[in-house]
Amino acid sequence: MDISITSSAVVAGSNATRDIGTAGETIVAGKAIYLDAATSKWMLSDNNGTGTRQVHGIALNGASLNQPVSMIKSGDLTVGSVLTAGTDYWLSATAGGICPRADLATGMDTIQIGVAKSATVLTVAVVDPGVTL
């Protein structure tokens, strides 16, 4: 089950590495996104989609098609949800979704997004070893 992120509570920490770009679709703050090589626009990552099984960051703001979107690539991210400190979180099969490791299923890629530092802060450090379950 994906974590429930409060988009209005999404805030990058002072140690965050950020980037900015153009949205290729509607994006909500707190969603996992990747840079589409063909369009050079940011799209929602999706662990059961073709070509979308990658994560380059987490959106810091909402954006519609062709609007600017900021993202955190690494560092602390307040998500305003109930995390479990020490638990690792991964790209889910829901577009832009983030879930605990236990929710990954056969056929999904193991793309770790980060580890919960506290009940509200996720330390973003994307790791994609290229392994499919």
Residue pLDDT, tens place only, 83-93:
999 999 999 99
SS3 131: coil
User: Do 90 and 99 form a contact (C-beta atoms < 8 A)?
Assistant: yes
Q: Which residues contact 50 (CB under 8 A, 6 or more apart)?
A: none
Which whole-number Å values give the CA distances from 41 to 5, 14, 54, 70, 80, in the listed order? Answer: 23, 26, 14, 12, 27
Give the whole-angstrom CA distance, residue 132 versus residue 106: 8
Determine the distance from the C-alpha atom of residue 21 to the mean position of all C-alpha atoms in its chain, rounded to a whole number.
15
Q: Give pLDDT, residue 125.
A: 97
* Phi and psi at residue 9, to the nearest 5°: -100, -5
Torsion of CA 39, 40, 42, 45, to 10 degrees: 70
Structure-model confidence comparison of residues 131 and 63, the more confident one: 63
Domains belonging to the chain, first-starting first, are 7-127 (2.40.300)
Token pair recorded at residue 25:
């679709």
How far apart (Å, rounded) are the C-alpha atoms in residues 95 and 48? 9
Q: Could you report the per-residue pLDDT of 79-120, keeping only the tens digit for each?
A: 987 899 999 999 999 999 999 998 988 888 899 999 999 999
Q: What is the average pLDDT across 37-56?
A: 91
- The answer, yes or no, to whether residue 62 has pLDDT greater than 90, is yes
Q: What is the pLDDT of residue 133?
A: 86
